[in-house]
A and B are shown apart, each in its own frame.
Chain A
Amino acid sequence: MIKINNVHKSYKAYTVHTNTFKSFLINKKKYFSEKRKIPILCVINNLSVTIQEGDVLCVVGKNGSGKSTLAKLIAGTSAPEKGVIQITGKVVPFLELGVAFSNELNGRDNALLNGVLLGMSRSYIEKKMVDIFEFAEIREFINTPLKYYSSGMQMRLAFSIAMHASGDIYIFDEILAVGDESFIKKCLNFFVELLANKKTIVFITHNLDFVKEHATKILYLHGEGDYSLIESQSEIEGFSFEPIISNQ
């Protein structure tokens, strides 16, 4: 379960000239007055939402509306300025695949490094190593340096590692399926399995069909911290992206 309570997050919008350390030494007063002029961009404002076990929360909104920021907040890589996010269960983030990949290391070492960072134990990864490479359809490349993999192979391996990190809450930032048609099918099967096992899912997407098919809740971020939460099934079925387009 994820309980988001009055969460606020903003960033400094560096749209004006920022001062240097030199200007700080020369004129401290001016440095701080100029620094105060940097506009603050409110991305998430007073957001409260509870995502129950087995819920599929689809987060939609135009670019820059705070979808990825919300994903980072739930994944725990970033912290809210105000408010509390309470999480019960282990989170597996699919925010970006293969972030810890190193081209010089071989497939086995990369699986070990990425797996450990995703919270799996070393013994579990060693035990699942063959399964990971078999799912990624690259069994024979297990000892090959990653630099000799195609980008498709790298993506498949990254997906396969992440999907072996069994958790309670899964966050997908527009990544659900990678690779060729047959691999996409495998990824979708994995997703269906998650749904069947009543895993909590936070899905950031622009895909309306997906939203209508799977969402149990829609969090629609309008930008500048404004949001609406759609919870009734009839509203979800009738949801359209038109308001997003009209906002752009």
Chain B
Amino acid sequence: MKIHKFVKGNKEKLIIMSAMDLKLRYQNSLIGFLWSFLKPMMQFGVYYTVFALILNLGSGYEYALQLFFGVIIWTFFAESTSIGLNSFVSKAPIISKIRVDKLVPPVSAFITALLSFCINFIIFYMFYLFIYTDALSQVSLSNYSLFMASLIQISILIISLNIILSFSYVFFRDIQQIWEIVLMYGVFLTPILYKIPIPEDYQVLYYTVNPLAFPLENMKVALFSDYSTVLIYNLNIWVAHTFFLLILIYFSYLVKRKFENNIVDYL
């Protein structure tokens, strides 16, 4: 009910702020929005060269597509949280002079990155349809539902993190350095570049501690026919992951409730 009220009351602010932020990022650049696709494409090129061609950890079109998909999901996560972390500090004049719901800046940071992700995903999907032979047979209601459920899980994760990080960053500026390190290691600890062989006994722990890994794996299951489906039938992981997300939502709610009234005094 409260979420509905927030969205209804702030819909236009969220859309305009996100759209303007996105516009600002590529304003005055020669190729504009194309950068939002070119950057993950270049990143993919580097990873493919190192992990497929040099280290031989994967090969073929399917690995390339899985790697590319992993890179755009990671870019979405890293970009959202990096902009989100800075959302109060970078908008300090607005927050301190105009009454804005304190959820608007971290959520609009998420929407800005979501818009970039949508552009990237459309381009990825065109490649996918063109290259992947089983692409059309993967289109089903169950796969669509699994994909959307995973995207919702990632969105909840990002929004909750954005709230916690953005409020914390106002008080502790070390957060930015710490988060950059988390992102630096995170790309290697998430199944993006290679499949991480997690022993069965530790799967629940791993997919709970790394909450991005589970939805990412499930999205790949929805997209690629021969991707291991072991995880989606593991009820323990579903329960543990959902429980972790609920704790994160509750913690972000507590952070917001504690600091929303006095954050302006510290900006």
Q: When the two chains form their complex, are residues B13 and A77 in contact, meaning their CB atoms are under 8 A apart?
A: no
**Please, what's the 1-or-0 string for A81-102, where 1 marks a CB less than 8 Å from any CB in chain B?**
0000000000101011001101
**Segment among B20-28, B113-121, B134-142 that sits at the interface with chain A:** B20-28
Binds A, one of B161-169, B190-198, B258-266: B258-266
In the complex, the chain A residue whose C-beta lies closest to that of B20 is: A113
Partner of B99, one of A76, A104, A116: A76
Q: List chain A residues, Cβ under 8 A from B17.
A: 113, 116-117
Complex contact A105–B27 (CB within 8 A): yes
Q: Tell me, in angstroms, the Cα distance from A116 to B11 when the chains sit together.
A: 10
Which residue of A76, A96, A104 contacts B24 across the interface (Cβ within 8 Å)? A104
Nearest CB on A from B251, distance (A): 20
Does A221 count as interface, using CB distance less than 8 angstroms?
no
Given contacts A21-B174, A77-B98, A95-B97, contact A72 B264 (CB under 8 A): yes
B247 at the interface (CB under 8 A from A): no
Contact of A204 with B by CB under 8 A: no
Report the minimum CB–CB distance from B266 to chain A (whole Å): 9
B185 close to chain A: CB less than 8 A: no
Contact call A99/B16, Cβ cutoff below 8 A? no
Chain A residues within 8 Å of B32, by CB: none
- B158-188 residues with Cβ-Cβ distance < 8 A to A are 172, 174
Please tell me if B95 contacts chain A, counting CB pairs below 8 Å. yes
The answer to whether A100 and B98 have CB atoms under 8 Å apart is: yes
Q: B12 near A105 (CB under 8 angstroms)?
A: no
Which residues of B have CB within 8 Å of A78?
Answer: 96, 261-262, 264-265
Whether A116 and B265, one on each chain, are in contact in the complex, defined by CB atoms closer than 8 angstroms, is no
Number of interface residues of A (CB under 8 A): 25
Tell me, yes or no, whether A1 is within 8 Å of chain B by CB. no
Smallest CB separation, B223 vs chain A (Å):
36
From A99, A104, A122, B97 is in contact (CB under 8 Å) with A99
Are A77 and B97 in contact, with the CB atoms below 8 A? Answer: yes
Nearest neighbor of A101 in chain B, beta-carbon distance? B93
Interface residues of B in 1-22 (CB under 8 A from A): 12-13, 16-17, 20
The yes or no answer to A194 lying at the interface (CB within 8 A) is no
Q: Point out the residues of chain A lying under 8 angstroms from B98, CB to CB.
A: 75, 77, 93, 95, 99-100, 117-118
Task: Please state if B16 and A77 are interface contacts (CB–CB under 8 Å).
Answer: no
Q: Evaluate contact between B97 and A113: CB separation under 8 angstroms.
A: no
Known contacts A105-B27, A113-B20, A122-B16; decide if A100 and B94 are in contact (CB<8 Å): yes
Minimal Cβ-Cβ distance residue in B for A122 = B12
CB distance from B82 to the nearest CB of A (A): 19
Residue pair A96, B97 in contact (C-beta under 8 Å): yes
A19 vs chain B, min Cβ distance (A) = 13
Which residues of A lie under 8 Å from residue B99 when comparing CB positions? 75-77, 91, 93
CB distance from A38 to the nearest CB of B (A): 13
Residues on B with C-beta less than 8 A from A187 are none
| Inter-chain contact A105/B94, CB cutoff 8 Å | no
CA distance in complex: A110, B93 (Å): 15
- Asked if B246 is at the interface (CB within 8 A of a chain A CB), the reply is no
B100 at the interface (CB under 8 A from A): yes
Cβ distance A69 to chain B, nearest Cβ, rounded Å: 9
- B104 → A minimal CB distance (Å): 9
- Nearest-CB distance from A198 to chain B (Å)? 23
Cβ of A78 to closest chain B Cβ, rounded Å? 5
Given contacts A75-B99, A76-B99, A121-B12, contact A109 B20 (CB under 8 A): yes
**Residues 70-116 (chain B) with a chain A CB within 8 angstroms:** 91, 93-100
B23 is contacted by which of A75, A76, A100, A109 (Cβ under 8 Å)? A109
Q: How far is the CA of A116 from the CA of B261 in the complex (A)?
A: 22
Given known pairs A93-B98, A122-B12, the reply for A104 and B93 (CB within 8 Å) is no
When distances are taken between beta carbons in the complex, the residues of chain A under 8 Å from B264 are 72, 77-78
- B20–A105 contact, CB under 8 A? yes
B265 contacts A96, C-beta separation under 8 Å:
no
Q: Is the CB of B172 within 8 A of A79?
A: no
What residues of chain B lie closer than 8 Å to A95, measured between beta carbons? 97-98
Most buried by B among A75, A109, A113: A113
Residues of B27-54 whose CB lies within 8 A of A: 27-28
Q: A-B pairs with the 3 shortest C-beta distances?
A: A79-B261, A76-B99, A99-B93
Of the A-B pairs whose beta carbons lie under 8 Å apart in the complex, a sample of 28, sorted by A's number, is A11-B265, A72-B96, A77-B95, A77-B96, A77-B264, A78-B96, A78-B261, A79-B260, A79-B262, A91-B99, A93-B97, A95-B98, A96-B97, A99-B97, A99-B98, A100-B91, A100-B93, A104-B24, A105-B23, A109-B20, A116-B12, A117-B17, A117-B94, A117-B100, A118-B98, A121-B12, A122-B12, A122-B16
